[in-house]
Amino acid sequence: MSDRLAVRKTYKLYVGGTFPRSESGRTYEVADSRGRFVANAARASRKDARDAVVAARGAFGKWSGATAYNRGQVLYRVAEVMEGRAAQFADEVAAGEGLSATKARAAVDAAIDRWVWYAGWTDKLAAVLGGTNPVAGPYFDFSIPEPSGVVAVLAPQRSSLLGLVSVLAPVLATGCTAVVVSSLDRPLPAITLSEVLATSDVPGGVANLLTGDAVEIGPWLAEHADVDGIDLAGTSGAVAMELERSAAGTLKRVLRTTAEEPDWTADPGLHRMTPFLETKTVWHPIGL
Amino acid sequence: MTFFEYAPAPESRSVVDVRPSYGLFVDGEFTDGQGAPLKTVNPATDEVLSEIAVGTDADVDRAVRAARRAFTRVWGPMRPADRGKYLFRIARLLQERAREFAVLETLDNGKPITESRDVDVPQAAAHFFYHAGWADKLEHVGLGAAPRPHGVAGQVIPWNFPLMMLAWKVAPALAAGNTVVLKPAETTPLTALLFAEVCQQADLPPGVVNIVTGAGDTGRAVVEHPDVDKVAFTGSTEVGKQIARSIAGTSKALTLELGGKAANIVFDDAPVDQAVEGIVRGIFFNQGHVCCAGSRLLVQESVHDEVVAALQRRIGTLRVGDPMDKNTDIGAINSPEQLARIRELVGIGEAEGAHLWQPDGDLPERGNWFKPTVFTDVSPAHRIARDEVFGPVLSVLTFRTPDEAVAKANNSLYGLSAGIWSEKGSRILSVANQLRAGVVWANTFNQFDPTSPFGGYKQSGHGREGGRIGLRAYLKES
């Protein structure tokens, strides 16, 4: 046992590919599942959320315009880097969620595999959700799915890594960019995931992670005119309803929350991607 | 510059038998509504056509209960192939009675008979025919081996394509196994009520389709009824937002098809005559009462004068007047309220400094009319370049480069449709790729087909109608 004094980490936000503190200067204490102090995390503010939206909007053109193959490789690279951090993730998940080391490691493995699963979807969506349309006339007519734009993701409160990955990866796979608000009480895996994103090939601004309270930041994102969609997974009840009402003001695409946090190990299907995909249909005459 | 005068070629209205009053169609029968009745008027003549029942909350509740009963007892348990057969029957009945529907649509809506005859009614029949075939193939829509219907669908439709919008809503809902409570627009209920007769002739089980007429309050009652599982709305963005807000916190599924301000982009290599025909079809089809109308013409600067001159020459040959005349190109504005809105926005356009042009010629004395109108010298900040006019009013803007065209086209809260005119294939595909719009017509405009998904980006709504993607909105994953 070494008597070396550990170098502790300062936990920060991840916005536009950089790690700022909250502009508000606010932090909050994060405790493990037994109530012991773990860290002071940044408590993101309205301004941080707005900065993150600007970063996400700025990154949207290039990310959505990348080839599906390229996007798939970039996302797969995230899984590769996660694998190297698996032990760190497992420690954080075990401490935060109060899981045994074995169960925590299983959750981390499932999260990495989930990321791989979504990475493989980027170049399949157009075939599964689009196609040519046999219209009754001399026209070539086809439909393709396209990403909606900037999506605010209120990550699950309980499942701090597998749940987080299960809501973030589908948004990125569609070609949308994301502003994520982490679990309030269990933010450490989100912070580590931002370090993974920063050291893989995901362009800055494509995924922005804010630690803090979705109840506080959610309303700003729900009404923000430059946010195109919102996943309410990390909220419930009256808060979720109020966010949905607010999102209606700019007709955002809304993915509703469920009464109980779902079993994140279940087969995800397409339903976390389809709400943030538009269908574009193009017509052209056929003739000489 | 008329070489020949057209002799009037009026369609006979004797084919329709408009009753003096209509009730609500609930549980397979026409019944009285409890609200104060509305009058529906021919917008081309101001003639009152009929008196229409108005559904109250209680009437809507009765309709929803009938739909729920039919869903639970009859339509839900029915063999999918049999559901399909009912839809095939309806498609055929629409074709058999096509002339009647077309005349009635034109009388109630004011659109030219050629359009109701050649577009609205055939499209409505095609939607039923297309979706009929889906009824026993739902395992192939991509929602698992046994996708389930939502239950009762509450549907609210607009006045611009009354029967066609009914078909876009009712056909996929029924094919997926839902039952329906439909609220037609208050100014155009007649073809929906004739459709109720078609349901009777098809022996469609009572309660599968319920039609509750009325105005905004009736629509709100349908949308907000707690036993409605799926809401589908076509109409204004403002009402769409209210609906999205009102169903927040419920488990209701929602699709919205809302307003638009489509850019129709003409590049300098486009064949001008062909583009002009497309511009005319884009903005003057159905008096411009089209959510996907090509109301913002973006012309490359070098061909602006040539295109505008050709366009004005062509507009000078359009015939505005009696919708029942088969020579008519532009019919009546659907209501005095809509006419007032068009006049208001056109007045704002002039006040903001855009240059207004209208062809010579007189308009009929009775009824609601507005001349085809072209604004030039329009800036992107003008209200007529931003707001949906929903009338025969075109705003012309210019651009120099493809990038500028895309930026201007996308500079809108809406994103329903767009047009591109160019002879260069790679340019068309590149621009189509960059446009944030749900439907892009290249070297054509305002084409529709039941196999082809339709719907918008951004504040033009969400969800699609048509095709496999459109059908999915009426199903839940198994």
For residues B91-107, one letter each, b for 16 or more C-beta atoms within 10 angstroms of the residue's C-beta and e for the rest, the string is bbbbbebbbbbbbbbbb
Q: How does strand B24-26 pair with strand B29-31?
A: antiparallel
Residues B43 and B129 in one domain: yes
Section A154-176 average pLDDT: 98
Q: Could you tell me the residue range of the domain that residue A44 belongs to?
A: 27-285
Q: Is residue B15 part of a domain?
A: no
CA distance A213 to chain B (A): 20
Which DSSP letter does residue B75 get?
I
Residues B322 and B243 in one domain: no
Q: Is residue A3 part of a domain?
A: no
What's the rounded Cα separation, in Å, for the pair B333 and A249?
30
B174 neighbors B147 (Cβ within 8 angstroms): no
Contact check, Cβ <8 Å, A251/B241: yes
* Count of structural domains, chain A: 1
For residue A61, the chain B residues in CB contact (below 8 A) are none
Which DSSP letter does residue B7 get?
P
Q: Is residue B12 part of a domain?
A: no
Give the rounded percent of residues in chain B with a pLDDT score beyond 90. 98
* Residue B393: how many other CB atoms lie within 10 Å: 24
DSSP bridge partners of A151: A178, A229
Residues of chain B contacting A, Cβ within 8 Å: 126, 142, 144, 237, 240-242, 244-245, 248-249, 251, 256, 258, 428, 432, 435, 437-444, 447, 449, 451-455, 457-459, 461-462, 464, 466-469, 477
Contact check, Cβ <8 Å, A129/B469: yes
B225 neighbors B427 (Cβ within 8 angstroms): no
User: In this predicted structure, what is the pLDDT of residue A7?
Assistant: 94
Q: Could you tell me the residue range of the domain that residue B197 belongs to?
A: 21-258+460-476
Nearest to A282 by CA among B295, B426, B434, B442: B442
B50 neighbors B34 (Cβ within 8 angstroms): no
pLDDT digits (tens, 9 = 90+) for B256-276: 999 999 999 999 999 999 999
Nearest to B21 by CA among B45, B49, B59: B49
CATH number at residue B164: 3.40.605.10
Section B337-365 average pLDDT: 97
Q: Is residue B177 part of a domain?
A: yes
What's the rounded Cα separation, in Å, for the pair A235 and A261?
10
- Nearest CB to B442; choose among A136, A280, A282: A282
* Count of structural domains, chain B: 2
Q: Is residue A158 part of a domain?
A: yes
Place of tokens 């591109």: B420
For residues B22-59, one letter each, b for 16 or more C-beta atoms within 10 angstroms of the residue's C-beta and e for the rest, the string is bbbbbbbebbebebebbebbbbbbeeebbebbbbbbeb
Section B313-319 average pLDDT: 97
Report whether pLDDT(B2) > 70. Answer: no
What's the rounded Cα separation, in Å, for the pair B70 and B60?
15
Q: Is residue B5 part of a domain?
A: no
What is the per-residue DSSP string for B292-338? T---EEEEEGGGHHHHHHHHHHHHTT--BS-TTBTT-SB---S-HHH
Question: How high does pLDDT run on average in chain B?
Answer: 97
Q: Is residue B91 part of a domain?
A: yes
Contact check, Cβ <8 Å, A249/B256: no
B477 neighbors B455 (Cβ within 8 angstroms): no
Section B375-401 average pLDDT: 97
Contact check, Cβ <8 Å, A136/B447: no
Across the beta sheet with A277-285, the strand order is A131-132, A139-147, A277-285, B439-442, B417-421, B263-266, B296-300, B393-399, B373-376, B355-357
3 state DSSP class of B101: helix
Residues B187 and B122 in one domain: yes
Residues B164 and B267 in one domain: no
Report whether pLDDT(B1) > 50. Answer: no
Contact check, Cβ <8 Å, A251/B237: yes
pLDDT digits (tens, 9 = 90+) for A13-39: 999 999 999 999 999 999 999 999 999
This model of the complex carries an ipTM of 0.97
Report whether pLDDT(B427) > 60. Answer: yes
Residues B233 and B322 in one domain: no
Residues B225 and B101 in one domain: yes
pLDDT digits (tens, 9 = 90+) for B440-474: 999 999 999 999 999 999 999 999 999 999 999 99
Residues B89 and B109 in one domain: yes
Section A218-244 average pLDDT: 98
A164 neighbors A82 (Cβ within 8 angstroms): no
Residue B6 pLDDT grade (very low, low, confident, very high; cuts 50, 70, 90): confident
Mapping DSSP onto H, E and C, the string for B185-229 reads CCCCCHHHHHHHHHHHHCCCCCCCEEECCCCHHHHHHHHHCCCCC
Residues B174 and B267 in one domain: no
Helix (H) or strand (E) segment spanning residue B183:
strand B179-183
Which DSSP letter does residue B451 get?
T
- Nearest CB to B440; choose among A131, A247, A280: A280
CA distance A135 to chain B (A): 6
Residues B36 and B55 in one domain: yes
Q: Between vectors from CA B335 to CA B331 and to CA B336, what angle results, nearest 5°? A: 115
CA distance B476 to chain A (A): 10
CATH number at residue A197: 3.40.605.10
Residues B281 and B225 in one domain: no
Contact check, Cβ <8 Å, B449/A141: yes
Which DSSP letter does residue B118 get?
I
Residues B254 and B329 in one domain: no
Section B77-102 average pLDDT: 98
Q: Is residue A200 part of a domain?
A: yes
Q: Is residue B38 part of a domain?
A: yes
Residues B237 and B292 in one domain: no
Q: How does strand B393-399 pair with strand B373-376?
A: parallel
Q: Is residue A2 part of a domain?
A: no
Nearest to B151 by CA among B196, B181, B192, B184: B181
pLDDT digits (tens, 9 = 90+) for B431-446: 999 999 999 999 999 9
Q: Is residue B16 part of a domain?
A: no
User: In this predicted structure, what is the pLDDT of residue A178?
Assistant: 99
What's the rounded Cα separation, in Å, for the pair B373 and B321?
15
User: In this predicted structure, what is the pLDDT of residue A230?
Assistant: 98
Q: Is residue A7 part of a domain?
A: no
Mapping DSSP onto H, E and C, the string for chain A reads CCCCCCCCCCCCCEECCECCCCCCCCEEEEECCCCCEEEEEECCCHHHHHHHHHHHHHHHHHHHHCCHHHHHHHHHHHHHHHHHCHHHHHHHHHHHHCCCHHHHHHHHHHHHHHHHHHHCCCCCHHHHHCEECCCCCCEEEEEEEEECCEEEEECCCCCCCHHHHHHHHHHHHHCCEEEEECCCCCCHHHHHHHHHHHCCCCCCCCEEEECCCHHHHHHHHHHCCCCCEEECCCCCHHHHHHHHHHHHCCCCEEECCCCCCCCCCCCCCCCCCHHHEEEEEEEEECCC
pLDDT digits (tens, 9 = 90+) for A116-129: 999 999 999 999 99
- CA A229 to chain CA centroid, Å, is 12
What's the rounded Cα separation, in Å, for the pair B403 and B415?
17
- A-B CB pairs within 8 A amount to 106
pLDDT digits (tens, 9 = 90+) for B146-201: 999 999 999 999 999 999 999 999 999 999 999 999 999 999 999 999 999 999 99
What's the rounded Cα separation, in Å, for the pair B21 and A250?
40
Helix (H) or strand (E) segment spanning residue B53:
strand B48-54
CATH number at residue B314: 3.40.309.10
Active site residues of B: 257, 291
Q: Is residue B11 part of a domain?
A: no
